[in-house]
Amino acid sequence: MNMLAAQEGVTEEFYSREGYRVRLDDKRWKLSKDVDISVPAVAQALSADMYMSFRHVLAFYAQSSSPAHVQNLFYRCKYYLEATADQIPFSVESLIFYRSLLDKKTEWYLGTLRGLVRRWADLGYAGMPIETLALLDKWTLKGNEKGYAVQSMCPDSGPLTDIEMEGVIAAVITAYGDDRLELIDASYAMTLAMTGRRPGQITGLKIKDLIQQSDRYFISFPRAKQRHQLWRTTFNKFAVVEDLWLLLQQQAVAVKQVFADKLGIDVPADLVPELPLFPALEAIDIKLELRTQLRGDRLHAPSTAVNHAMDRVAKMIKLVSERTGLPVHLNPTRFRYTLGTNLAREGKGEYVIAEALDHSDTQNAGVYVRNIPEIVERIDKAVALQLAPIAQAFQGVLVISESDARRGGDQRSRISNGAANLGTCGSYGFCGALAPIACYTCNHFQPWLDGPHEAVLECLILERDRVLEQTADKKIASVNDRLILAVSDVVNRCCVMKKEVSHE
C-alpha cells in the first residue's frame, strides 16, 4: 500500500498550496481567497471508506495544485455522482451510463474525472475497482472545446468590435470624470480593456507592481494557471500607456489611505509597496500584525470582484452594440478574446499571441489565428446612416440654435471645422481633445440644427476610402468608424428635428 494511504488516520489537517489550513472534516475547505469547497456535499453518495479516500485524494491535489483545479475536480466528481445516483460509484456500469449522457462538447467532463480516478489508484487509497481503471484506459475522450465564442464572434460572449471597444473606453472615462463611476470600478475596467489580463492576475497585484522606467510604464502581473507554482512567484511585465498607469496610481493612493483609516495609523513606509492594489477590506484584522497579513492572498480581493465590477460598469455606461442594438454585455473574458483577436488581425502569430495573453503554450492561441474577423472594408453614407441609430455613438444633445445651447452666449465655446461652426461645447473645463473630430462622441457637444454635419460625414467617408486605397490596411482606415456613426446619428436627428420644427 502507498505510504500516503498508510497515513490515512494521521493526516487530519493540511495546508493548501496557497497556505490556508484545512481540516479533513471541515464542512467547507477554504483553499484560497477565491475558492472554498463544500466537500460533504458528496458524502451521501459514497460509503464511509470511499468518502474518506476521496477526501485524502482531494487533499493531495489541494496541497500541490491550484485551488481552481481542485475545485474543478470536485465538481466534476460531484456531477458524476449525482448523474449516476442509482449506480454503484465508480463501477464500470456507472461510467458507461455517465458517458452516454455526454456529448462532444461535454465529453471532457469524463476526461477530468479519469485523471482523478487514476491519481486515486496511484496513491493507493481504497475504493477504485481494477476493471474501472482498465475501462478508462481504453477510452479515447475528447478534450475541452476551445474558442467557440471567438470562432463564432458571438455578440454576447465573443470579442468586442473596434467600435464597441472604443465605446467602452470612452464611456468609462466619461462616467468616471462625471463621478458616476467609482475609482476602483474604473480601474478594473481600464486594466481589463488595456491589458486583457485574467481577474486573478488583476486582484493579485500589489502597489509595487506598478513600475515606471524613465518615460515608460509597466504593470508586473503575477502569472496565473502555472502548474506547480505558488501564488505570486512568477511575473510578466506588461507595457501600458501613461493614462492607465496614472489611474492606477490614484487607486494606490486610495488604498494606502483606506488601510490607514482601517488600522487607525499610517501604514509603515516599507509595507506600502506590499499593499494589495485591489484589497478585500473586510478581511483586514486590526488585531493581527499587518506584515503577517500581507504575506498571503487573504487581503486581496477575490477574482469575482472583477466580474461584479464589470456588471456595475455595464449598467452604468449602458453602451449599445452596433451589431445588436442592445446593451453590450461586459465580462473579463471578452476583453481577453478582444486582445487575442486584434493581434491575429494585425498578422501576429500564435507565439506572439500566447505571450501577450500570458499563456504557457500555444494550444489556445491557434483559435485566434484560424479565425480572423474581417473589418468592414467600406462604409458608405447609406450604410452609416442606417447603422447610426443602432450604435448610438453620439452622446451629446442636438440644439436648434446656438442660443439654445449651454454656454451658447460664449463665443469661445463654438466648435468649428475650419470652414463653419458646427455646434457648442457645454463643458467649462479644459479639453485637450482634437476638435471637431473628438466632439461628436463627447457628451458635452451640442451640435446646431443648421450645422454642416452632412458635409463633415462626407469628408470622413472620403478620408476613410483614401486611407484604405493608399495603405490597403483596413485596421488603419477604420480608426474613425465610431466617429462616422456618431456624425451619421447627428445627421439623422437633424432630419427628424427639421421636420418637427417645420410642422410647428
pLDDT digits (tens, 9 = 90+) for 281-301: 999 999 899 999 998 899 999
Beta bridge partners of 276: 206
**Which of 302, 336, 370 is where one domain is finished?**
370
- Characterize 424-450 residue by residue with b for buried, 16 or more Cβ atoms within 10 angstroms of its Cβ, and e for exposed: bbbeeeeeeeebbeebbbbbbbbbbbe
- Band the pLDDT of 7: cuts 50, 70, 90: very low
Q: Give every CB contact of residue 51 below 8 A, 6+ residues apart in sequence.
A: 42, 43
β-bridge partners, 217: 212, 240
Same domain? For 305 and 164 the reply is: yes
38 and 162 share one domain:
no
Q: Which of 316, 343, 370 is the last residue of a domain?
A: 370
Q: Which of 109, 138, 167 is the last residue of a domain?
A: 138
Q: Is the pTM of this model over 0.75?
A: no
Flag whether 446 is in a domain: yes
Vertex 91 angle, CA 87 and 97, to 5°: 60
Task: Please indicate, yes or no, if residue 48 is contained in any of the structural domains.
Answer: yes
226 vs 495, higher pLDDT: 495
pLDDT at site 380: 67
Closest C-alpha to 468, from 431, 460, 361, 196:
460
pLDDT of 395? 86
Mean pLDDT for 379-404 is 80
- Residue 376 belongs to a domain: no
218 and 352 assigned to the same domain: yes
CA-to-CA separations, 48 to 42, 59, 134, 383, in angstroms, rounded: 11, 17, 25, 68
Give me the mean pLDDT over the 334-362 stretch: 77
Q: Do residues 354 and 229 both lie within one domain?
A: yes
Q: What pLDDT sits at residue 4?
A: 45
Res. 419: pLDDT tops 70: yes
The reply to whether 312 and 410 lie within a common domain is no
Between CA 151 and CA 156, with CA 155 as vertex, the angle to 5 degrees is: 105
Residue corresponding to grid cell 477510452: 139
Residue 339, pLDDT score? 86
Same domain, 86 and 105: yes
If asked whether residues 283 and 339 sit together in one domain, one would say yes
User: For position 113, what pLDDT does the model report?
Assistant: 94
Q: Among 281, 302, 462, 466, which Cα is nearest to 384's?
A: 462
Which candidate, 221, 255, 247, places its Cα nearest to that of 169?
247
Cell of 389: 441609430
Q: What is the CATH number of the domain that holds 179?
A: 1.10.443.10
- Cβ atoms 346, 362 nearer than 8 A: no
- Is residue 249 within 8 A of residue 192, CB to CB? The reply is no
- Is position 53 within any domain? yes
Set of cell numbers at residue 320: 449599445
Please, what is the average pLDDT of the chain? 86
**Could you give the number of structural domains in the chain?**
3
415 and 279 in one domain? no
Residue 451 has pLDDT above 60, yes or no: yes
Contact 35, 71 (CB under 8 A): yes
What integer pLDDT is reported at residue 6 of this predicted model?
44
Inside any domain, residue 98 = yes
pLDDT digits (tens, 9 = 90+) for 298-344: 999 999 999 999 999 999 999 988 877 888 999 998 998 888 887 87
Write the pLDDT tens digit of every residue in 134-183: 999 999 888 766 555 555 567 778 888 888 999 999 999 999 999 999 99
Selection from 141, 139, 140, 118 nearest residue 130 by Cα? 118
Q: How many CB atoms lie within 10 A of CB 500?
A: 9
pLDDT for 379: 65
Share of the chain above pLDDT 70, in %: 88
The answer as to whether 452 is a domain residue is yes
CA distances from 129 to 91, 93, 133, 134, 176 (A): 7, 12, 7, 9, 60
Residues 409 and 465 in one domain: yes
Amino acid at 130: I
* Nearest alpha-carbon partner for 206 in 278, 149, 118, 257: 278
Residue 494 has pLDDT above 50, yes or no: yes
For 337, half-sphere exposure in the C-beta direction (CA atoms, 13 angstrom radius) is 25
308 and 445 in a single domain? The answer is no
- β-bridge partners, 399: 448
Residue 463, in any domain of the structure: yes
- For residues 255 and 437, which has the higher predicted lDDT (pLDDT)? 255
Over residues 484-494, mean pLDDT: 91
Q: How confident is the model at residue 367 (pLDDT cuts 50, 70, 90)?
A: low
Same domain, 410 and 286: no
Assess whether pLDDT exceeds 70 at residue 229.
no
pLDDT in tens, 104-130: 889 989 999 999 999 999 999 988 999
Residues 6+ apart with CB under 8 A from 428: 407
Task: Please give the pLDDT value at position 273.
Answer: 97
Same domain assignment for residues 79 and 174: no
Asked whether the beta carbons of 416 and 436 are under 8 A apart, the reply is yes
Find the domain containing 71 and state its range: 3-138
State residue 149's pLDDT score.
Answer: 56
C-alpha 39/C-alpha 393 separation (Å) is 49
Instruction: Name the more confident of 253 and 157.
Output: 253
**Residue 375 lies inside a defined structural domain of this protein:** no
Say whether 27 sits in a helix, a strand or coil: coil
Enumerate the β-bridge partners of residue 434. Answer: none
